[in-house]
């Protein structure tokens, strides 16, 4: 059977980590693209030279030509700039929007059948821009957000309770920004929802609220520590989980920035919701029932995303035309 071909657009910290994970998980061959000539070639060669030690078989090619994305099954986009301390993700909108226009055109020309995962910030607006610029079907273009936010929530909860991360599930919905919506009612330890764990005395409501806020600030916490850029290991692992579910038709239920067509009362924008990812791309949007407070928080998040998309339309009125 032919190996899958995975295009990674952007050879920065996330792009390099993605390439290594594709190798380690034997997901396929890699084309690592970046406009900075030499960097994708150097990183690809470095990762290829690690393959005899780790024991993975994958062809890795570094390139600065979009043509090399031809025939990609999956394309993961991390191109653009990360934020620095003191910045919000939204501050990146203008500069990264231009990048999405170019990348979208390159994907449309050379990899129109790919499943495309966007990691560039501000995430929900950039995945909308990338989809619009590429003209690809909406179920084949998706944003990585909720997998990362939920992983952070799970990690903090596992640390709090002193249990394995494997036994903690969590859902974070909404936009990948300050208004994201961690959902305690849908987050569990061994199947027990968090509100019940508070009643059982495992933690206090105050502690739980602190963990929820830490989850919302998870990206900024890493930016503050790194000082020169933003998180890359966990974002790369999140993108790979989505790519793997598509390539292996695992049909995992993953919270992602997906294109909504009336689900959750939202139409025509991308926002974080649980979806089933399989060989058909985003095969289903899972509509969970939200109580009044959860719905109000989700609506606030949707409004924030809508504002960013309107800003994109203002800057690039001809996007996708
Ligand atoms: C993250 O959440 O780590 C990413 O969105 C990067 C950032 O700027 O926070």
Q: Mind listing the pLDDT tens digit for each residue in 92-117?
A: 999 999 999 999 999 999 999 999 99
Quote the pLDDT of residue 218. 98
Q: Please provide the DSSP assignment of 236-266 as one string.
A: HHHHHHHHHHHHTT--EEEEEEEEEESGGG-
**In angstroms, what is the span from residue 255 Cα to ligand 1's centroid?**
16
Which residues, in sequence order, are bridge partners of residue 254?
275
pLDDT at 190 over 90: yes
Q: Do 307 and 230 share a structural domain?
A: yes
pLDDT at 1 over 90: no
Ligand 1 atom at minimum distance from 152 CA? 2
Which residues, in sequence order, are bridge partners of residue 111?
none
What is the average pLDDT across 44-51? 98
Mark the binding-site residues, compressed into ranges.
10-15, 34, 83, 89, 96, 119-121, 152
The end-to-end CA distance of the chain, in Å, is: 38
Q: Do 60 and 25 share a structural domain?
A: yes
Q: What residues line ligand 1, using a CB cutoff of 6 Å? A: 82-83, 89, 121, 148, 176, 218-219, 222-223, 230-231, 235
Domain containing 82 equals 5-144
Residue 321 domain flag: no
For residue 15, what is the enclosing H or E element? helix 13-24
Structure tokens at 83: 């934020």
Ligand 1 atom at minimum distance from 148 CA? 2
- Supply the pTM of this predicted model: 0.98
Ligand 1 atom at minimum distance from 83 CA? 8
Quote the pLDDT of residue 5. 98
Q: How confident is the model at residue 54 (pLDDT cuts 50, 70, 90)?
A: very high
Mark the binding-site residues for NAD(+), compressed into ranges.
10-15, 34, 96, 119-121
**In angstroms, what is the span from residue 218 Cα to ligand 1's centroid?**
7
Q: Do 205 and 137 share a structural domain?
A: no
Residue 221 domain flag: yes
Task: Report ipTM (2 d.p.).
Answer: 0.99
Tell me which of 108, 125, 144 is where a domain ends.
144
Residue 320 domain flag: no
C-alpha angle 108-111-117 in degrees, rounded to nearest 5: 90
Q: Which residues are catalytic?
A: 176
Percentage of the residues of the chain whose pLDDT score is greater than 70: 100
Quote the pLDDT of residue 246. 98
CATH code, domain with 68:
3.40.50.720
- Model confidence pLDDT, tens digit, residues 5-37: 999 999 999 999 999 999 999 999 999 999 999
Quote the pLDDT of residue 302. 98
CATH code, domain with 195:
3.90.110.10
What is the average pLDDT across 72-99? 97
pLDDT at 321 over 90: no
Quote the pLDDT of residue 2. 87
Q: Do 299 and 187 share a structural domain?
A: yes
Q: How confident is the model at residue 146 (pLDDT cuts 50, 70, 90)?
A: very high
Q: Do 130 and 200 share a structural domain?
A: no
Contacts of 108 (CB under 8 A, 6+ apart): 133, 134, 135, 136
Identify the CA nearest to 120 among candidates 221, 253, 15: 15
Q: How confident is the model at residue 56 (pLDDT cuts 50, 70, 90)?
A: very high
Q: Do 156 and 299 share a structural domain?
A: yes
Q: Which of helix, strand or coil describes residue 165?
A: helix
pLDDT at 221 over 90: yes
């Amino acid at each position: 059977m032919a190996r899958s071909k995975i295009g990674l657009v952007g050879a920065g910290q996330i792009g390099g980590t993605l390439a290594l994970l594709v190798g380690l998980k034997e997901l396929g061959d890699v084309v690592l693209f970046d406009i900075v000539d030499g960097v994708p070639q150097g990183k690809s060669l470095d990762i290829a030279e690690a393959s005899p030690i780790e024991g993975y078989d994958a062809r890795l090619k570094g390139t600065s030509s979009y043509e090399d994305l031809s025939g990609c099954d999956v394309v993961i986009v991390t191109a653009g700039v990360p934020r620095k301390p003191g910045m919000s993700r939204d501050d990146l909108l203008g500069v990264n929007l231009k990048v999405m226009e170019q990348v979208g055109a390159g994907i449309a020309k050379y990899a129109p059948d790919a499943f495309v995962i966007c990691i560039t910030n501000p995430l929900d607006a950039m995945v909308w821009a990338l989809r619009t610029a590429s003209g690809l079907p909406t179920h084949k273009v998706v944003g990585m957000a909720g997998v990362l936010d939920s992983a952070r929530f799970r990690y903090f909860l596992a640390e709090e309770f002193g249990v394995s991360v494997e036994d903690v599930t969590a859902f974070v919905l909404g936009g990948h920004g300050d208004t994201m919506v961690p959902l305690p009612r849908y987050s569990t330890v061994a199947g027990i929802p968090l509100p019940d764990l508070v009643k059982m005395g495992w933690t206090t409501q105050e502690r739980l609220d602190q963990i929820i806020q830490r989850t919302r600030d998870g990206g900024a916490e890493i930016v503050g520590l790194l000082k020169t850029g933003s998180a890359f290991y966990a974002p790369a692992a999140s993108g790979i989980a989505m790519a793997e579910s598509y390539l292996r038709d695992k049909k995992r239920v993953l919270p992602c920035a997906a294109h909504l067509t009336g689900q959750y009362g939202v139409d025509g924008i991308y926002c974080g919701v649980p979806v089933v990812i399989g060989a058909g791309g985003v095969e289903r949007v899972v509509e969970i029932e939200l109580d009044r407070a959860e719905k109000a928080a989700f609506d606030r998040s949707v409004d924030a995303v809508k504002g960013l998309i309107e800003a994109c339309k203002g800057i690039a009125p001809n996007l996708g035309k």
